[in-house]
Amino acid sequence: MMMSTNSVNSGGTDSCNKDDVLSEITALCLGTGRFLRGVLVPFLVQANHRVALIQPRGTSMQEYLVQRQKQQTQKQQQQQHKQHDEMTYEVDTVQPDGSITTETVPIVACFSFGHVDDKKAFFQSSFPKMTKGYVIITAGC
Amino acid sequence: MKDLFDILSAYHKQLQNQEQQPLLPYPQKLVVIDMDNVPHNGTKIQEYMLAHAASLDSATEDDDDERMTLFLNTRVIFCNTMVDRITSSRPDSHGMVPRCEPLPLKALVIGDYTGYVHRHVFPPLIVSQQQQQHQPGIFLRQTPQQLQRDIDLKLSIANGTHTAIAHTLALLGHTMTTVLSYTNESEDHDQPTSKNIFMEYLDALVHEQIIPSCSTTDTPANLSNDAHAVWLDWKQRLIHPHFGLSTFFITQNGTAKGGIRWGPTVMALLQHDSDMDENTDAPSINESFAVQKPPIQVSFALAYAVLLRWLTPTTTFGEREGVYRGWLNGFDPQTTTNASTDATCSGTEYADGLCYELQQGWYDFKCPLPDLISKLHACLKSSKAQPQDCRDAVRYYLTQDQGGNLTDIGPAASAATNRHFEELVDATAVLYARLIAGDDLLDILKELQRSAYGIGFTSPCRALLLAATTPATLVSPPASAAARLLHYRPQSIPDSSRLLDLPVTLSNINDVVTSEVQSVVAIDLHTHLLPPSHGPLCLWGIDELLTYVRNSVCILA
């Protein structure tokens, strides 16, 4: 499920599910850089954290995740699989023999502070529902 | 920073809101983990947050600044971390897909001084499994000293070798570090990499200089084992044949990196062995190079020499917004293309506004020390710079805090420390002079690899000196201030060096002649009885008087 301003772009998910998702978040990553997503987020996921990303500037990460989610949904519909709302991104690891191992990392939500309204909406509508804040990750500060 | 403060502030306000369900039941806290590749990153973040809190408007009765400060101090844990995993991006992914090397031994080290992270953030199962099985990945450190040691080892070993090899490879026209996985000059990937000349150079630098410098500080006995583990892990990453970095990219900020990454190691070596020198008994005269091992070796002199060679602008340099132009190994600086005067970057861009062109043999670089640029340029411009003429530039770089950062040299340092420092200066000047005279860098590496002239990577810097000083162990040095006793020493400059083609000037003729005479092997077949004033030439006893071969030249002015 992706959050952007006050809208939900999740293929029909209602507000109750949105609140459930927000309440699951236990790790909030302020930044969407390659290093943060390639190193720390996988560790957090491995530790059973439910991770949300915040892109401080721009919306490219949201767009990328939504695009991937749509592609995954279409693929699952074609294969008549159960639809999942999980957002994921990929991480490549180049092995010594030259082969590339691709890991799929799941996240709960992705926000953007690219616009003033987006940031305002985050603090007004989304943040109050995050009741399990354990970890905040920062990068590029 | 502002975004983080806003998030923390929002948490704080929600805690204060008594009408809502408490956000964080006591005693849970917020943990802030910073991923910036900066030492003490968590502390810096905390200081910034506290400063921001203190600036809140406290004119109202709410005392927002005090409440927020209290919240930050009691309910938020700011962790210092060390992060290390080389990450680029998948081609054509527009930066969306990280492309990483295999997970290193210490990809993420977190300072967990209260144990809270261990208990609440990363389940004990994951961390203990990894640590017990010595799996690469995440480490939690219980004390600041433990984390600092991780940072110091990474800085001295990983970053130090990276800077040393990057300038070497870039000057030789190797654009990627993957060349380190090859054997010598071959691109045969099936051959063991242990024969790679560049890795031999780094092995010498690490095993004989960097790791021993770690043991000079007041640290646990197992520090050497940790240092070896760090080097082995980093070495595997360096020789990854399919995940390399741009060598030119690594050369950025080389001026400062020489001080940041090498300075602490070199100072530790200079200061450590100063005590050894002063307490050692007088050695035998004929063991002039077999005395206790001097602290600084040729491998470090080579590292500094190559760095300064990189920072030397061409004779036709022109400053473009602080950008200078250098010339690659094997090219003539006189004919290198002039630096363009506009803001565009021709050639292959390796950093913002910095380019290189392999076919034409030039590259751009930046340097924050204009006086250093002038001194190095003068060495090149003179076209007859002997090592003695380059000492000033070398010494200047080594002692600048924005450069080599060896600032604890001089009146406050011991005599031994200063002497070793001067030996480093002289040795670096010899290698640097050879490089700007046109000696091939790869040939120099091969000379040192084979100890072709009796001098290798692990030889003391003293072996490169042109003019020997009078050993302190001699008896009754000559009274004349200009007199020096000479003892045979192999010539540190090979006959093939282009330095020998350069004219000798009044300023350096003394050292040049002394060096040449010192390296002459004289065989005296006659029996000469010389007094004690002739030092090692004074022989006595039936064994010495009957048959002997002289291997020293004595000159008394």
Spatial strand order in the sheet of A87-94: A100-107, A87-94, B98-100, B87-89
Whether residues A135 and B45 touch (CB distance < 8 A) is answered with: no
Of B139-148, B230-239, B249-258, B517-526, least confident by mean pLDDT is B517-526
Substitution target in B29, B44, B46, B87 with the highest count of A β-carbons within 10 Å is B87
Q: How far is A92 from chain B (nearest CA, A)?
A: 5
Chain B residues closer than 8 Å to A38 by CB: 85, 87, 98, 100
More confident residue, B336 or B48: B48
Chain B CB within 8 Å of residue A105 CB: no
Average pLDDT over residues B284-292: 37
| A141 min Cα distance to partner chain B (Å) | 6
**Residue pLDDT, tens place only, A15-61:** 446 777 888 888 889 989 888 899 889 988 988 889 999 998 888 88
The CA distance from B267 to B258, in Å, is 12
State the ipTM, two decimals.
0.85
Out of A48, A92, A134, name the one closest to residue B98 (CB): A92
Contacts with A, B 107-136, CB within 8 Å: 107-108, 120-123, 126
Q: Which of B169-178, B350-359, B456-465, B508-517 has the lowest mean pLDDT?
A: B508-517
pLDDT > 70 in chain B, percent: 75
Separation between Cα atoms, residue B240 and residue A95, nearest integer Å: 8
What is the reported pLDDT for A2? 39
B45 interfaces chain A, CB cutoff of 8 Å:
yes
Pairwise CB contact (< 8 Å): B33 & A47: no
Nearest CA-CA distance, residue A82 and chain B, Å: 26
Q: What is the mean pLDDT of residues B202-221?
A: 79
CA within 13 Å, CB half, B457 = 19
Chain A hits for B10, CB-CB cut-off 8 Å, are 123, 127
Whole-angstrom Cα distance, residue B468 to residue B489? 8
Residue A25 contacts B where some CB pair is shorter than 8 Å: no
Half-sphere exposure of B279 (CA within 13 A, CB side): 5
Per-residue pLDDT band for B14 (boundaries 50, 70, 90) equals confident
Which one is predicted more confidently, A85 or A113? A113
Longest dimension (CA), chain A: 50
- How high is the pLDDT of residue B506? 80
Q: Is residue B482 scored above 50 in pLDDT?
A: no
Q: Which residue of B has its CA nearest to A96?
A: B240
Chain B nearest-CA residue for A112: B3
Within 8 A by CB and 6+ apart from B232, the residues are none
Tell me if chain B has a CB within 8 Å of the CB of A39: yes
Task: Tell me the C-alpha distance between B81 and A32, whole Å.
Answer: 18
pLDDT at res. B524: 66
**At B435, is the pLDDT very low, low, confident or very high (cuts 50, 70, 90)?**
very high
Task: Provide the edge-to-edge strand list for the sheet that holds B354-357.
Answer: B323-327, B362-366, B354-357, B348-351
Shortest CA gap B31–chain A (Å): 5
Q: Which of A34, A36, A96 sits opposite B95 (nearest CB)?
A: A34
With cut-offs at 50, 70 and 90, classify the pLDDT of residue B256: very high
Closest of B554, B514, B515 to residue B535, by C-alpha: B554
Other beta carbons less than 10 A from residue A84's beta carbon: 12
Split at pLDDT 50, 70, 90, the class of B230 is: very high
Q: Is the model's pLDDT at B302 over the cut of 90?
A: yes
Greatest Cα pair distance in chain B: 108
A125 contacts A76 by C-beta, under 8 angstroms: no
Nearest to B4 among A40, A100, A141 (CB): A141
**What is the model's pLDDT at position A16?**
47
Q: Which of A28, A134, A137 to mutate to test the interface with B (most CBs of B within 10 A)?
A: A134
Dig out the tokens for B96 from the structure: 């969306």
Residue B250: phi, psi to the nearest 5? -65, -25
Question: Radius of gyration over alpha carbons of chain B, in Å?
Answer: 29
For residues B342 and B375, the answer to whether their CB atoms sit within 8 Å is no
Residues B350 and B268: their CA atoms lie apart, in Å, by: 34
Residues 71 to 110 of B: which have CB under 8 A from any A CB? 83, 85, 87-90, 94-103, 107-108
**Which region among A7-21, B61-75, B223-237, B408-422 has the lowest average model confidence (pLDDT)?**
A7-21
**Least trusted range by pLDDT, from A59-68, B157-166, B328-337:** B328-337
Its sign, for the CA torsion B405, B406, B408, B411, is negative
Range from A16-25, A72-81, B117-126 carrying the lowest mean pLDDT: A72-81
Contact A116, B12 (CB under 8 A): no
Do B33 and A43 make contact, defined as CB atoms within 8 angstroms?
Answer: no
Which long-range contacts does B455-459 make (Cβ < 8 Å, 24+ apart)? B455/B298, B455/B490, B455/B492, B456/B204, B456/B298, B457/B200, B457/B201, B457/B204, B457/B205, B457/B208, B457/B297, B457/B298, B457/B299, B457/B302, B458/B204, B458/B208, B458/B297, B458/B298, B458/B299, B459/B297, B459/B298
Question: Around Cβ B292, how many Cβ atoms within 10 Å?
Answer: 12
pLDDT for B503 equals 82
A-contacting residues in B 223-242 (Cβ below 8 Å): 240-242
For residue B339, pLDDT over 70 is answered with no
pLDDT band at B100 (very low <50, low <70, confident <90, very high): very high
Token pair in block for residue A93: 């690891």
Average pLDDT, chain B: 80
pLDDT of residue B327: 94
- Mind giving me the DSSP string for A102-118? EEEEEESEEEE-SSHHH
A53 close to A32: Cβ distance less than 8 angstroms: yes
State yes or no: pLDDT of A74 exceeds 60.
yes
Q: What is the DSSP letter of B297?
A: B
Put simply, the answer to whether B23 touches A131 (Cβ < 8 Å) is yes
B129: enclosing H helix or E strand: helix B124-132
The dihedral over CA atoms of B463, B464, B466, B470, expressed in degrees to the nearest 10, equals: -30
Instruction: Output B437 or B466, whichever has higher pLDDT.
Output: B437
**Mind telling me how many Å the CA of A83 is from chain B's nearest CA?**
24
Residues B354/B323, Cβ–Cβ less than 8 Å = yes
Residues A122 and A14 sit within 8 Å (Cβ to Cβ): no
Q: What is the pLDDT of residue B169?
A: 96
pLDDT digits (tens, 9 = 90+) for B32-44: 999 888 889 999 9
For the packed helices B441-450 and B415-437, what is the interaxial angle rounded to 10 degrees? Answer: 130
A141 touches chain B (CB under 8 A): yes
Per DSSP, the residues of B298-314 read HHHHHHHHHHHHHTPPP
- Residue B118 pLDDT grade (very low, low, confident, very high; cuts 50, 70, 90): confident
Bridge pairing between strands B137-141 and B323-327 = unpaired
* Cβ-defined contact of A138 to B126 (cutoff 8 Å): no
- Cβ-Cβ contacts under 8 Å between A and B: the total is 139
Please compute the mean of the pLDDT values over residues B193-210 and round it to a whole number.
86
Please report residues of B whose CB lies closer than 8 A to that of A95.
102, 242
Cβ-contact B200, B299 below 8 angstroms = no
Which structure tokens are listed for B17? Answer: 């809101």
Q: What is the pLDDT of residues B356-382, one digit of tens each?
A: 999 999 999 999 999 999 999 999 887
Chain B contact present for A116, CB below 8 A: no
Q: How far apart are CA B548 and CA B544, in angstroms?
A: 6
- Report pLDDT for B221: 59
